[in-house]
Structure 1
């Protein structure tokens, strides 16, 4: 099923054929630079299974992203229920991860904006959050270009204390009609 369609992207259900490029993407050092580590094939399989389970449980999740022109799987953009311990959780998080060949083309922003509109108009969300390591400038730029606003810095409780990824930024947006016209 295609959930969201933009000029250049389809955000859709996952297919078994997505698993191999998903594993390659999660094993790429550049793609995973702002995460504690790359993921093994087994770890990616578990992640894939948890993505599918979230769709069953909540009716939304991290959508597989396909480039319309090439029909190629390029990553994911979508929603996740963040439940780690923090003063803003549990919450609906928007997130993305794209293979490096898809970077610099505006796909993450295009998909995130469409996802937010879908979340507010079709899924009934009132608030959506996003967070990343403070050093992750590309994702912070996507958050800002998608109409989200900086809330605060926080230390991610699941990241080691001595990691340069410990300090995170939190962004937020709430439903408002003006955002849907952008």
Structure 2
């Protein structure tokens, strides 16, 4: 399947390019952007993460797409869909996610791009359900999840298997949305 590129009123969700890696590394080193992830990462780890995200798109035709504001900013973060790659009660699953550079927070870009991702997931990809996950303290992401029609059942919350025991980010909340709720 050739990699998809999605367009919204203000954004382009596209495959990653080599020139995205510098901006992604700056985002990945920002303590505020990484607050609810394990920790800021160095350039080597950031590049490895970007390569994995790029490879997912090349393999599956979708993934966490690079997010661009045409004519304004060539890379502001990522948004999209990715196969969950760890073991949990809700797996197998496709997750929707986003991460934006701080300068682009609060402008509705995450919601706009996430809605386009859902439409693609339930439309061309034919998915029946899409999940989202974060830590309980990440209220901003949970607000995006609700704005795009996702709901949470506290019984689905889980301990993330890739987070060490005793770590404050171990517990995660799970949001879901089914195809029949969001019609493409």
TM-score interval, normalised by the smaller of the two chains: over 0.9
Partner of 2:50: 48
Deviation at 1:2, TM superposition (A): 6.3
Partner of 1:95: 97
Shift of 1:157: 1.2
Q: Note if contact 1:2-1:10 (Cα within 8 Å) is conserved in structure 2.
A: no
CA–CA separation in structure 2 for the residues paired with 1:72 and 1:58: 23
CA distance in 2, matches of 1:65, 1:52: 13
Match of 1:160 in 2: 164
Distance 2:131 2:120 in 1: 15
Q: Which runs of 5+ in 1 are unaligned?
A: none
Using the TM superposition, give the Cα deviation of residue 147 of structure 1 relative to its aligned residue in structure 2, in angstroms.
0.6
1:142 to 144, 147, 152: 144
SS at match of 2:96: strand
Question: What is aligned with 1:64?
Answer: 66
Give a deviation string over 1:4-52, Cα, whole Å, max 9, x none: 1111111011111111001000010000000111111111111111112
Higher strand share: 1
TM value normalised by structure 1: 0.93
Alpha-carbon distance, 1:161 to partner: 2.1
Match of 1:179 among 173, 177, 182: 182
- Root mean square deviation of aligned Cα: 1.5
Task: State the match for 2:80 in structure 1.
Answer: 78
Looking at structure 1, the residues matched to 106 and 4 of structure 2 have their Cα atoms a distance apart, in angstroms, of 24
Give the aligned partner of residue 27 of structure 1: 29
Please say if residues 93 and 131 of structure 2, whose CA atoms lie closer than 8 Å, have aligned partners that are also in contact.
Answer: yes
Count of aligned positions = 180
Distance 1:160 1:136 in 2: 19
State the alpha-carbon separation in 2 of the partners of residues 75 and 32 from structure 1.
12
- Ranges in structure 2 where 5+ consecutive residues have no aligned partner: none
Larger deviation, residues 163-172 vs 99-108? 163-172
SS, match of residue 182 in structure 2 = helix
TM-score normalised to the size of structure 2? 0.92
